[in-house]
Amino acid sequence: MSKTWLITGTSSGLGRLMTERLLARGDRVVATLRQPETLHALHGRYPQRLHLLTLDVTDSAQLRATVAAAFAWAGHIDVVVSNAGYGLFGAAEEVSDAQIARQLATNLTGSIQLIRAVLPFLRAQDGGRIMQVSSEGGQIAYPCFSLYHASKWGIEGFIEAVAQEVAEFGIDFILAEPGPTGTQFAAGLDQAEAMPCYEQTAAGKMRQALTSGAFKITGDAGKTVDAMIACADEEKPPFRLPLGSTAFFHIRQALRERLDALEACEQRACSTDVQ
């Protein structure tokens, strides 16, 4: 049976590829993006099953109106994919206030407001699924991505709580966590002006690796999207979906290190209880 999807950030990358593959298999898609003309050719191929809506996820009023228009057109939406995102690169001291505001408004507040906007509609239709495109960077951290990580760790924490709040309404979540993947993400990074004092630090080395190509991109975009779609089709999908070997091994290592560090604090932690 075909499904109906609402996907944000469909102009390029994983969002566009997912839209194309879903349409090719016979599904309906409400695709949101800031410049709908980007998908006019695709709409010409699927005029009955692709609905384009203009959306800047940082505009909460527009977001609510767009979500209402999406459900009005579709009637019922099976899967909402929160994919719109923005990458900021630079040491914490290097990035500007405006860059920080844009990073959090897009990846964190925008994703939060999208989820808040769709919940009443999903409740009214007795359930649905929300897939949040996070990142391995929602559980681990690289230097020079501190604000990006803040947005991804933040949205994962938000969803951890909301998933418990709405489970009884038949609404569930998938946190998709791709590692470095062959999209245009790296090329589209908003890079802060480098400060010479960081050149020989971990931040400087990360910048060198990114600019030289030494930072390896191991994930295949097509396979990543196929895995996301397959997971969304499952009756009981995993709550977190690591994508790519880099993501899997980095997250596993980070979790093991955190667990070891936590267990080392057991006696001290328990010593602070009321006796």
> What secondary structure, in 3-state letters, does 185-252 show?
CCCCCEECCCCHHHCCCHHHHHHHHHHHCCCCCCECHHHHHHHHHHHHHCCCCCCEEEECHHHHHHHH
Helix (H) or strand (E) holding 131: strand 128-133
Q: Which of 46, 86, 142, 148 is catalytic?
A: 148
Distance, first Cα to last Cα, the chain:
59
Q: Alpha helices, DSSP H only, in 57-129? A: 60-74, 97-103, 110-124
- Per the annotation, the verdict on 152 as an active-site residue is yes
- Per the annotation, the verdict on 148 as an active-site residue is yes
Q: Which of 82, 146, 152, 198 is catalytic?
A: 152
Strands 50-54 and 79-82: unpaired
Q: Which of 82, 111, 134, 135 is catalytic?
A: 134
Report the b/e string of 14-42 with b at 16+ CB within 10 A.
bbbbbbbbbbeeebbbbbbbeebeebeeb
In this structure, what token pair is assigned to residue 101?
A: 């505001």
Helix (H) or strand (E) holding 130: strand 128-133
Q: Which DSSP state fits 172?
A: E
Distance CA(183)–CA(263), nearest Å, equals 39
- Per the annotation, the verdict on 86 as an active-site residue is no
Distance CA(134)–CA(231), nearest Å, equals 15
Distance CA(152)–CA(192), nearest Å, equals 19
Residues noted as catalytic: 134, 148, 152
